Structure formats: structure tokens, C-alpha cells
Amino acid sequence: MKAKKRLGQNFLHDPNIIGKILHVANPGKSDTFYEIGSGHGAITDELVKRAGTVHLVELDDELIPELEEKYGQHAHVTIHHLDALTLQLPASMDGRKVRVIGNLPYNVSTPLLIHLLQQADRIEDMLFMLQKEVVTRMAAQPGGKDYGRLSVMLQHRFDVHPLFVVKPGSFVPAPRVDSQMVRLVPKAHPPLVDFSTLERVVKQAFSQRRKTLKNNLKGLFSTRQLEDMGLDPRQRPETVSVDQYCQLARALEANPSTGSMTVI
């Protein structure tokens, strides 16, 4: 079947890469997996054999009949014909959380990561194939050009572990960029911070990367407030740590009227 550009499809076919992914995932009978973008079943075959419960999430109308024919007879497999951006993971039961795996469409990878981030309390871990550039941004540390909104939002809730790089020839059609596997594991003790408030602060801070915190956070915090939190108002947003962004979000949440104060 011809890959659909509008769905960002690149089908993995390299058996060596498939083997490496499954080695890292190491599915077991106690695991519940959600596979996003099952495609032609490159990863699915082994998941169905080895995992206790498997949920296949596929948007493409033309792939659903193939998946139903191959896996529909298995009682432990459920096929979901839906957009992964609407996927709601089940609440943890008996302390057991779900595992998520997939070769994510590059054109929706960032919004999909943010969508799943908001369900982190239901997730044991996530293992994704993504554009290498995206993985670099996900794992970037403060001070570099790759550190930004995605870095802060993901790292406040997950430990991000970049894995092996995958060349274009492992896919059909071959993408124009290198890909990379990444594993995300929810932090055991994540910072206590309101997601929407953190998102607001981080979005505004990185709205103009070349400007200072004083300029970008104007209307949210005064110069004095930034200094009281140990921040230099002349800092650029890419030099502020994840913990410091969480500190800013907590301060704003504690005093919502801050946003209307005059910067001094």
C-alpha cells in the first residue's frame, strides 16, 4: 500500500532495527501496550506474541481491514480506529500502568507528545521513533540552541533517554532525515506544578528567544520578582532550568494577579 504523505507515513521494514526496538521494549505477559500507528504490523507481530494485552491505534482507513485480519482473532488484542491525538489512556488499576510504543508521524509528533504528557500518571514508559532533530530537542539541556519549550515541558515530567539512530533506508518511503528511538520514563517524584500554568509561562518565555526574561515575561513578573527567585532578568530563556520554570509557574499560580503588575 502506498504511504500517505498527509498522514506522515513511513513504514519501518528493517528487521535489524525492529529487533533492536523489541529488545529495548522487552514486552512481557504482565504488560499492556498501546501501539500508535501500527501500520503493516512490523512491531505488532512480536507484541501480540509476547505482551499480555495489546491495543493497536491506527488512523488510516485502508490499514484497519489488514490489522483486523491479522490480529482480530486474538482475544488480548483491541484495534482502535482513531486519531492518536484523541487517545485517552485508561486510569491505572491495581497500580499497573500502560506502556506506549510507536513510530510516530513526524508531522504531528510534538502535539502528540504533549497530549500524552498530560496523561503521564497513567504511563509506565513510552518508546518512540521520531525525527532525530525532535529527539535532540526533547533531551536538550539549558544553555544550548536546541533547548526550548518541548525540552522543558517533557523534562518536567519525564526522564528522556535518547537511544539509537535509524537511517532513512530502514523505511519505505525513505524520509529525508535521520530518525532516532527515544524512551520516556515518568519521574518518580515530579515537581508539583499546574500543567497549564507551566505551559503558559514557558510559551511566553520562549516567544522571542533572543530577548531576555525581563522582556519576554513582562506582564507576568516584575524585575524584582525575578531577582527574588534567583533569576537574572537579563537571562535568555534557554539558560533557565526546568526546575526554575516550575518555580516561576508555582509563583504565578500562587499569585494570579501577578500578570497584571507593572514591570519595574
Are 86 and 170 within one domain?
Answer: yes
Examine the domain organization and report whether 182 and 199 are in the same domain.
no
State how far the Cα of 51 lies from the Cα of 78, in Å rounded to an integer.
13
pLDDT at 103: 86
Find the mean pLDDT for residues 117-121. 95
Cβ atoms within 10 Å, residue 206: 21
Q: How many domains does one find in the chain?
A: 2
pLDDT of the residue at 33 = 97
Cα separation of 172 and 3, whole Å? 8
Summarised one tens digit per residue, pLDDT across range 246-260 is 999 999 998 776 554
Q: Please give the pLDDT value at position 60.
A: 84
In this prediction, residue 204 carries a pLDDT of 95
The arithmetic mean of pLDDT across residues 29-52, rounded, is 91
pLDDT at 210 over 90: no
Same domain, 166 and 42: yes
pLDDT at 13: 74
Q: Based on the domain organization, do 49 and 170 belong to the same domain?
A: yes
Q: Report the distance separating Cα 6 and Cα 108, nearest Å.
A: 10
Alpha-carbon span 98 to 125, nearest angstrom: 7
Helix (H, G, I), strand (E, B) or coil at 185: strand
The verdict on 71 and 133 lying in the same domain is yes
What is the spatial distance between Cα 20 and Cα 26, in angstroms, rounded to a whole number?
10
The pLDDT of residue 12 is above 60: yes
pLDDT at 126 over 60: yes
Instruction: Tell me the whole-structure pTM to 2 decimals.
Output: 0.89
Task: Give all strands (DSSP E) within the chain, no chain letters.
Answer: 11-12, 32-36, 53-58, 77-81, 98-103, 123-131, 158-166, 171-172, 179-186
Q: How confident is the model at residue 10 (pLDDT cuts 50, 70, 90)?
A: low
CB 20 within 8 A of CB 164: yes
What are the start-end ranges of the H helices in 35-182?
A: 44-50, 64-71, 109-117, 132-139, 149-155
pLDDT given at position 79: 95
> Considering 186, 214, 239, which residue would you say is the last residue of a domain?
186
User: And the C-alpha cell for 198?
Assistant: 507551566
Tally Cβ neighbours within 10 Å of residue 147: 24
Question: Does the pLDDT value for residue 16 go beyond 70?
Answer: yes
Residues 154-174, mean pLDDT to the nearest whole number:
89
- Tell which wins on pLDDT, 148 or 61: 148
Are 36 and 83 found together in one domain?
Answer: yes
pLDDT, average across residues 72-77:
94
Domain end among 186, 206, 221:
186
Mean pLDDT of 226-234: 95
* 228 and 137 co-located in one domain: no
For residues 42 and 157, membership in a common domain is answered with: yes
Rounded CA-CA distance 102/263 in Å is: 46
Could you tell me if 29 and 102 lie in one domain?
yes
Same domain, 182 and 205: no
Q: Are 168 and 220 found together in one domain?
A: no
Among 161, 186, 211, the domain-final residue is 186
Q: How confident is the model at residue 3 (pLDDT cuts 50, 70, 90)?
A: very low
Work out the angle at residue 44's Cα, subtended by the Cα atoms of residues 155 and 95, and round it to the nearest 5 degrees.
50
What cell was used for 69? 485480519
Q: Residue 69 sits in a domain of what CATH number?
A: 3.40.50.150
Q: Beta partners for 126?
A: 100, 184
Residue 83 is part of which domain span? 5-186
Task: Give the pairing of strands 77-81 and 53-58.
Answer: parallel
| CATH at 246 | 1.10.8.100
The 10s digit of each residue's pLDDT in 172-189 is 666 688 999 999 999 999
* Claim to verify: residue 118 and residue 165 sit in the same structural domain: yes
